[in-house]
Structure 1
Amino acid sequence: YNDFGGTHTTSLAASYHLQKLPTNRVLTREEILNVQYFNKLNKSDAGKIIFHGKDEDGHFVYTLGRRSSKLVLPALKNLCQLLEERFQIDEKIIFSNTSPTVPFAMTMGGFFSRGLKIDFIGVPLLVAGAKKSCLNIHKLVETTKQIGSSTHSKVTVIENKNFQA
């Protein structure tokens, strides 16, 4: 899962993917703030591929903060294709963009909390944004899993434009 910062919607998506969060209701403040890596990464973590765990089907789940670069995903897709061809790797790789699920409150919360280090303003906005978007993020994860299981492509990039916040 990838987005701008790699610490909010991506962390929630990874947790949903790994069945660590309830899916039948809006998350509580405590559930949101206890998600691994939620609001814990910094600008220096951009570009790092972070492992979150292995899902029930044996698939590895990672997140990535790509910042504003439009070149990261095409470069990663190309690199994965080259490695798969060169080393005959038989593994599907799915890049799923969580950015479309980010509501304005989360954008502002991330700016205040991660950008300006003003948590007393940023964290409540992040929690409000996460509450607003969590069910949408869960749907995005389910769609990602479905595409992953049905595609025949080795490397797939999903933009998720139909998951607007």
Structure 2
Amino acid sequence: MIYIYNDYGGTHTTALAAAYHLKNLPTDRELTKEEILNVNFFNKLTTSDMGKIIFQGIDEDGNSVYTIGRKSSKLVVPALKNLSLLLQDTYKGHEKIVFSNTSPTVPFAMTIGGFLSRGLKIDFIGVPLLVLGAKQCCNDIIRLVEYTKQIAKSPNEKVIVLENKGFK
């Protein structure tokens, strides 16, 4: 199975979701600033990284976990779904692919922090807001990851797209 967490920038909630999915972060307490800032790719991607599918690791069940920043395009995930189905049908692939949107978990502090840090390069204001936002949304991200894993077990679909409305 392949999991691909996606959102606008691919560097905040997607990075946290991948880290939780891979069990690289504790789920039983609030994260520290250092833990948040040390998550792979957290607040590190740039505009040139948008649209790149970034490998994050292999989970405990041997599944690959990726992230992608799609900017404001509503076409990226449907295009990837169609490409995935085409490749599976053409090459008789059996690997289930799950696209999970982390955008519904993004709190206002993270939106502003991401804009200030990634967009305007004002890290001294943006990064503390990102850390605050990460602390605010971690429980939602943990629930989203568990939901994603649960839905992925459904036997019928080869490619699943989860919009995840209602995780905020």
In the superposition, the TM-score normalised over structure 2's length comes to: 0.96
The CA distance in 2 between the partners of 1:120 and 1:110, in whole Å, is 12
Map of 1:1-165 to 2, 5 A cutoff? 1-164=5-168
Q: Which runs of 4+ in 1 moved over 3 A?
A: none
Cα distance between partner residues in 2 of 1:67 and 1:157: 17
Measure the CA separation in 1 of the matches of 2:153 and 2:67: 19
| Identity value in percent | 70
User: 1:149 Cα shift?
Assistant: 1.4
| Number of residue-to-residue matches in the alignment | 164
> Where does the alignment leave 5 or more consecutive residues of structure 1 unmatched?
none
* TM-superposition CA deviations, 1:61-117 (whole Å, max 9, x none): 000000000110110000000000000000100000000000000000000000000
Give the distance between the partners of 2:15 and 2:83, measured in 1 at CA. 24
Residues 20-78 of structure 1: CA deviation (Å, up to 9, x unaligned): 00001111111100000000000110000000000011100000000000110110000
My pick for the range that moved more, 143-152 or 63-72, is: 143-152
Deviation at 1:4, TM superposition (A): 0.1
RMSD: 0.6
Aligned-partner Cα distance in 2 for 1:8–1:35 = 9
C-alpha separation in 2, matches of 1:9 and 1:151: 27
Contact kept, 8 Å, 1:25 with 1:135, in 2: the verdict is no
| Distance (whole Å) between structure 2 residues aligned to residue 119 and residue 153 of structure 1 | 42
- SS of the residue corresponding to residue 153 of structure 2 reads helix
Q: Give 3-state SS (helix, strand or coil) of 1:150's partner.
A: coil
